[in-house]
Amino acid sequence: KAGVTQTPRYLIKTRGQQVTLSCSPISGHRSVSWYQQTPGQGLQFLFEYFSETQRNKGNFPGRFSGRQFSNSRSEMNVSTLELGDSALYLCASSLEHRTEAFFGQGTRLTVV
């Protein structure tokens, strides 16, 4: 079966702009989580959605937001982009809250 799919794979944006990233989970998976990966901070948890509801949120500013649709696809949005938002954004999906999380290939965001 198809894995976790993230689009786009690469993105270049200018400071002050906003961006929307998309994640399609493995078919049947209802939990979708987002992580930011940078060389300095490693993998940091952004938020988790389950059945269209945000279940947990990491320690990121309100410029970072997300949502989940009825088909479990998820989007995350970053408004007023800053240079420090340049990172690999990874999405992970799992069947239920106590099962393995599978990661997508990520979206590489560069803010210039």
Partner 1 sequence: GENVEQHPSTLSVQEGDSAVIKCTYSDSASNYFPWYKQELGKRPQLIIDIRSNVGEKKDQRIAVTLNKTAKHFSLHITETQPEDSAVYFCAAVPYGGSQGNLIFGKGTKLSVKP
- Binding residues for partner 1, per CB under 8 A? 4, 31-33, 35, 41-45, 48, 50, 55-56, 59, 90, 92-94, 97-106
What are the φ/ψ torsions at residue 66 (nearest 5 degrees)? -155, 175
Toward partner 1, which CB reaches closer, 17 or 99?
99
Toward partner 1, which CB reaches closer, 65 or 102?
102
Shortest approach of partner 1 to residue 9 CB, angstroms? Answer: 11
Shortest approach of partner 1 to residue 16 CB, angstroms? Answer: 30
Q: Across 1-112, where does the E strand assignment appear?
A: 5-7, 10-13, 19-24, 31-38, 42-50, 53-57, 64-68, 74-78, 87-94, 102-103, 107-111
Residue 96 carries which side chain, given as an amino acid letter? Answer: E
Shortest approach of partner 1 to residue 21 CB, angstroms? Answer: 15
Toward partner 1, which CB reaches closer, 60 or 79?
60
Task: Report the relative pairing of strands 19-24 and 5-7 from DSSP bridges.
Answer: antiparallel
Toward partner 1, which CB reaches closer, 41 or 77?
41
